[in-house]
């Protein structure tokens, strides 16, 4: 069995040591065994990282990856708890920071805001990889952006409507001043609407594509 130090494992997997440790802290990667003070990883750790990488490239979230690799795991990683900088997104996606800034300016990349500071997490990394995947199919970026701009306008309307419904029907049921409860409830609503919107768009694209083939 091959033995790796943390840096050797990261190099073999094509990721950073920080990402190895992040996966380990979230329960995605089993803990290493220790020889004295040295943490030792094995082939199964490398295979696990490669499998995680494959699933991430396909667009799976960390929560989805855990569910597939460890269906009986009692807990799921909270990707929204991550606080990444733009350079972290660049490192994980292997896209220059300057390009990410241009995508952010166009509205394709939308970080969270915390006291005026841009905060990123794994969802931003997945979004960047999704853009790359579409471009990799041969779609010209300028034409993709033209379609995306229309979609972003629709998304803004959807978001405004969702927040209006939340403030009218959900917020009044929460304890006054309980910011954590509001944030958690809003997150649940945002995730649910996001999944539903993604589902509808995905199905519609496949339907329209099938209609085009039939024609």
pLDDT tens string, the chain, 215 residues long: the values are 688 999 999 999 999 888 888 888 777 888 888 887 788 999 999 999 999 999 888 877 777 788 788 766 554 445 555 678 899 889 888 889 999 999 999 888 988 887 788 889 878 888 888 888 888 888 888 888 888 777 777 888 888 998 898 899 888 887 787 776 777 778 777 777 777 777 777 787 788 777 665 65
**Domain edges within the chain:** 6-69, 81-139, 140-215
Q: Tokens representing 185? A: 């409830």
CATH class of 6-69: mainly alpha
CA atoms within 13 A on the CB side of 33: 6
Yes or no: say if 48 and 30 are a contact pair by the CB < 8 Å rule: yes
Structural element, H or E, at residue 155: helix 141-165
Gyration radius (Cα) of the chain, Å: 20
Closest CA to 9 of 53, 57, 72, 63: 53
Structural element, H or E, at residue 113: strand 112-114
Same fold yes or no, 6-69 and 81-139: yes
Query: What is the secondary structure of 5-55 as a DSSP string?
Result: -HHHHHHHHTS-HHHHHHHHHTTSSPPPEEETTEEEB-HHHHHHHHHHHHH
Closest CA to 102 of 84, 86, 83, 113: 86
CATH class of 81-139: mainly alpha
């Amino acid at each position: 069995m091959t033995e790796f130090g943390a840096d050797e494992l990261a190099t073999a997997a094509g990721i950073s040591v920080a990402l190895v440790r992040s996966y380990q802290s979230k329960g995605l990667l089993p803990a290493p065994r220790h020889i004295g003070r040295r943490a030792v990883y094995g082939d199964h750790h490398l295979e696990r990282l490669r499998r995680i990488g494959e699933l991430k490239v396909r667009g799976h979230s960390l929560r989805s990856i855990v569910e597939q690799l460890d269906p009986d795991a009692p807990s799921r990683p909270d990707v929204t708890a991550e606080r990444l900088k733009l350079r972290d997104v660049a490192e994980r996606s292997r896209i220059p920071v300057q390009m990410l800034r241009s995508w952010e300016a166009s509205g394709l990349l939308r970080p969270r805001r915390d006291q005026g500071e841009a905060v990123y997490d794994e969802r931003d990394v997945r979004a960047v990889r999704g853009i790359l995947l579409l471009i990799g199919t041969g779609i010209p970026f300028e034409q993709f952006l033209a379609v995306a701009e229309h979609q972003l306008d629709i998304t803004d309307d959807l978001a405004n409507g969702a927040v209006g419904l939340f403030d009218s029907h959900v917020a009044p049921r929460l304890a006054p001043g309980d910011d954590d409860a509001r944030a958690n409830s809003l997150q649940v609503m945002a995730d649910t609407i996001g999944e539903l919107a993604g589902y509808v768009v995905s199905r519609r694209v496949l339907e329209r594509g099938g209609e085009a083939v039939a024609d």
